[in-house]
Amino acid sequence: MTEGKIYSKIALFALPIFIGQLFQQMYNIADSLVVGKVLGKQALAAVASSGSLIFLIVGFIYGVFVGAGVVIGRYYGAQKYDLMHKAVHTTVAFGLVAGAVLMAFGMTCTPLILRLMNTPEEVFPESVKYFRVYFAGSIGSVMYNSFNGIFQARGDSKHPLYYLIIASVTNIILDILFVKFLNFGIIGAAAATAISQFLSATLSFIKLTTVKDVHRITPKDIRFDRSLLKEILSTGLPTGVQNSVIGFANVIVQTNINAFGPDAMAGCGSYTKLEGFAFLPVTSFSVALTTFTSQNLGAKKYDRVKKGTVFGLASGVAIAEIIGILFVILAPHLIAMFNSDPNVVAFGVRQARTEALFYCLLSLSHCMAGIIRGSGKTTVPMLVMLICWCVIRVTYITITVKLIPDIGVVFWAYPLTWSLSSIAFVVYYFKADWMHNFERKEQKMLKKQGM
C-alpha cells in the first residue's frame, strides 16, 4: 500500500473486501430467507431481528481487532518485523481468550437480554434457541476476524475473500439441508452459521501458519506480549467501545420495534438484513482507508495519504448512494423474498424508503472514521459516534416515541444521527489539521537528529 498508483492500490485492496462482504451478507440473509419461507413469519422474526443483539455483544471484540490491524499495519509499513511478529501472535492470543468468554456469556445471558428487549412471547422460545446455538459457534467468528485483521494489515484482502466465499456457500447449503430437508427448525439455521464460521477460521489459520511471509503465525509463539497488548488495546479499545455503544443504541431501536409486534420484527429484520448490502462499499473502503493510512503514515508518506483519502471517500459515498436509490425502487420485491405477508412487507418497505436515500451519509461517516482511525487517533471516531449514534439516537427515540407512538419515528433515528456524525467528521477533518501534525512532528524529529 506504500508503493505504486494510489487509486489502483486502494481499489484493488477494497474490491476483494467488497466481494467478501457480499458473500458474507449472502450467508447472513440465508438463514432469514430459508427460515422465512419454510418456517413462517414467527421464526423469521426470531432470526431476522438478531443483528442488533449480536453486534452489541461481539462489536467490542471486533473493534479491538481493528486496533490490532492498525498496529500491525504500522509496524509493517515501518519494516519493524520483530514487533509485527509479536503483535500478530498477541492478536491471536487475544482472539482465543475473547472468543471463549463471548461463547460462555452469549449462551448464558441470552434469555435475560431478550427479556430486556421486550421480545414478544410468541417469538421468545425460538429466539433463545437460535441465539444459544449461534453463540456456541461464536469463537469461530471471533478467530476469523482476528485472522482477517492480520491479512488486511499485511495488505492481503484476497485470501480472506476466498475463505469467506467457501464459508458462504457452505452456510447456504447447510441452511437448506438442515431446515428444509432434515427439519431441524431454527436450530438448524443457527448450526449452519456456526459450522461455516468455524470453517472460515480453520482455513485462515492453515494459511497463516504456512505462508512464507512476515505475518506468518507460529503456534508456539502464540502468547501475550504485555507492551504490545497494551498498544493494541489502547488503539482498539476506542473502536470497541464505539461498536458497543452503537450496538446498545441499536438494541434500544430494536426494543422499540419489538413493541410493534412480530410483523414489525419480521419486516424490519428483513430490511436490516438487506441493509447489509449498503455496508459493502462502506466496509470495504473504510477498511482499505484504515490500512492505507496506517501503512503510509508508518512509511512517512503524508502526501500519499492525502490523495488516497480523497479517492476513498468519493468512491465509498457514491457507491453507497447508488445502492440506496436501488433499495428505494426495489424495496417491495426485496422484502417479499423473505416473507410475502402484506403486513411484514409494509413494515420493511416503510423503513427502506425512510433510510435508504441517506446511505451516502452513513458511508461518509464510516470512511472518515476509517481514515482517522488509521492515523492512530481512535478516540475521535469513538467520541463522535458515541455522542451521535448512541446518546442522541437513544434520547431522540425515548422522547419522541412517547409523544408520537408511530414506528416511523424510530426509522428516522438513523438518518438524523448519520447526518450529525457526518457534519462532526467533516469539521474535524478540515479544521483539526491532524495530517499536518504528523508532518510537523517528523520535521521536529529531523531537526533534533541534525543537532
What would the pLDDT profile of 419-430 be if each residue is shown by its tens digit?
999 999 988 887
* Segment 165-178 mean pLDDT: 91
Residue with more model confidence, 133 or 291: 133
3-state DSSP helix/strand/coil % of the chain, to nearest 5:
85, 0, 15
Residue 54 has pLDDT above 80, yes or no: no
Cα–Cα distance, 303 to 6 (Å, whole number): 11
Cα–Cα distance, 435 to 39 (Å, whole number): 54
* Segment 196-224 mean pLDDT: 94
Among 27-36, 129-138, 201-210, the least confident range: 27-36
Average pLDDT, the chain: 85
* Residues 43/309, Cβ–Cβ less than 8 Å: no
Nearest to 46 by CA among 100, 110, 108: 110
Nearest to 147 by CA among 195, 190, 207, 191: 207
SS3 369: helix
DSSP 424: H
Nearest to 305 by CA among 442, 131, 136, 147: 442
Among 19-23, 152-156, 267-271, 328-332, the least confident range: 19-23
Nearest to 68 by CA among 401, 299, 291: 291
Residue 52 has pLDDT above 80, yes or no: no
Grid coordinates representing 84 are 509485527
Residue 413 has pLDDT above 90, yes or no: yes
Say which amino acid occupies 97.
V
pLDDT in the model for residue 451: 45
pLDDT digits (tens, 9 = 90+) for 348-405: 999 999 999 999 999 999 899 888 888 777 788 888 988 998 899 989 998 999 999 9
Cα–Cα distance, 151 to 13 (Å, whole number): 11
* Residues 308/299, Cβ–Cβ less than 8 Å: no
pLDDT in the model for residue 110: 86
